[in-house]
Structure 1
Amino acid sequence: MTGENKFFKYLKIVIGFLVAILFLLPIFILLMDSFKNQKGILTDVLGWPNPFIFDNYPKAMEKMNFFNSLWNSVWITVVSTALILLFSSMAAWVLVRYKTKISKLMFILFAVALLIPFQCVMLPLMSIMGSKEIFSISFGDATFALNGLNILNPFGLVFTYLGFGCSMAIMLYHGFIKGVPEELEEAAMIDGCSMFKTFWKIVFPLLSPINTTVAILQIMWIWNDYLLPSLVLKEQSWYTLPLQTSKFFSTFTSSWDIATAALILSMLPVVIFYLIAQKKIIKGVVDGAIK
């Protein structure tokens, strides 16, 4: 290895180290502040806790109803992600393999949906999901009524995540499935496999790398999402962890000592998940990129 190559190698290491510090420093400061009292945070937010206050975590867990909120976050995230993987992979496969004018139009609609900000459809969506009847028109004795869904609950939230998450997932699956050999599917159909069985037995097992990539993106989005659950979930017993952290902030006062502990508790499950599954996650992302 020449001197110039060594220089660039060490330069990359130094740059990577600095970027890592840049990303980890806010989390480290948040962790340190979670062991301070309110006065300690306001006096010196960057300083070391003196003394260490361990009561913040039990207080935060009690106020945010931690285990119930954790369960809400887990099952909403898992069910939403599983449904997105299921429906998006099947839809993308059909769009790739069965090329018609309708399939091309559907693909364009999914692509265009990515360009529409959630804020543009937020109010009409909530109107449809929250009301039993949107409007009615009477013609003499006959009445035509357009009914709303009335699903402002966790199941409505999962349904909404499915709608908003499928567009990007279909785009990712669409590009990946183009690289799957079509001859494998033709051979399976010649052997008597139905369309449904061909997808599950032949195609879906080959989608493991992109499944991992899509799952990571969806889990991170759904777990950390605040806006959509705040609009859809009306009862506190349904609140997810990000929603519960809002209890510590008000218009005039904020409990920063307990709030920092609550934020750490909200991040902890997804960090543990990553540490346990990091080998599969990294392999899936790399295989998806190479494919």
Structure 2
Amino acid sequence: MAERSERAQGSDAEVSMSALPDKRQVAASFSRAAASYDAVAELQRDVGTQLLARLPVSLQPHRWLDLGSGTGYFTRALGERYGQGAGLAVDIAEGMLRHARPQGGAAHFIAGDAEALPLQAANVDLLFSSLALQWCADFPRVLSEAQRVLRPGGVLAFSSLCVGTLQELRDSWQAVDGFVHVNRFRRFEDYQQCCAASGMQVLSLQRQAQTLHFRDLRSLTTSLKDLGAHNLNPGRPGGLTGRARIRALVEAYERWRQPAGLPATYQVVYGVLQKLPGDVAGVA
């Protein structure tokens, strides 16, 4: 009965708040990964760079916020573009903040939750968040908080992940035992619905596939661990994974091999929203 229950939780189409990771586990996992993160963050740097390129050219924020700032790579990029003194870096992982703070990029580094931002209303002109919001269970609440802290006319720019991410690994595990071994993500349609209902103007919202290649399965799983992004979902099997199952997984994943190596595809969501200029709700 337990196995059947865990198998039933594996469907991406049935992602719910309870199916997403506990944010305390997310914070602890990324804190542990602070020292190793940048060495394996190829995708994260590329996605964040693409998100920067999507910012309105005319945008000149008096104050900006890097939400889910991690090791501070894009905090420093934003500081170079808009001024370090105008910047705030917020992350739920204390270990990431300790790693990033000495390198600068922002005036303040703050521990905080995207679903309950530790900021006053109408406080920033730009809220930038790259590959962090997929870990938030209540995405409408994230959007509500973004709208609250943005000044009228302010911009929310985010990248996140949706269903189809790491599908090769998910399907390979499904062929082995059907348990939950891969993080779940929302459907792209959920992002569309939430953004449309946010009260902000949707300037752009797109999904784009990006594929990395690895020489073998161990390289992929080590990379996920070093990022702090290994399986954090409820329903994941406890204990060590047996050698026979690992061999079966390797064989299943090898069927995906391409000339460049074993593929790991990420379905990336890019969104740029703007608080309406006349929206003065929450403005003191």
Same fold by TM-score greater than 0.5: no
Larger helix proportion of the pair:
1
Q: TM-score range by the shorter chain?
A: under 0.3
Q: Which has the larger radius of gyration?
A: 1
Q: TM-score, normalised by structure 1?
A: 0.24
Larger strand proportion of the pair:
2
Q: TM-score, normalised by structure 2?
A: 0.25
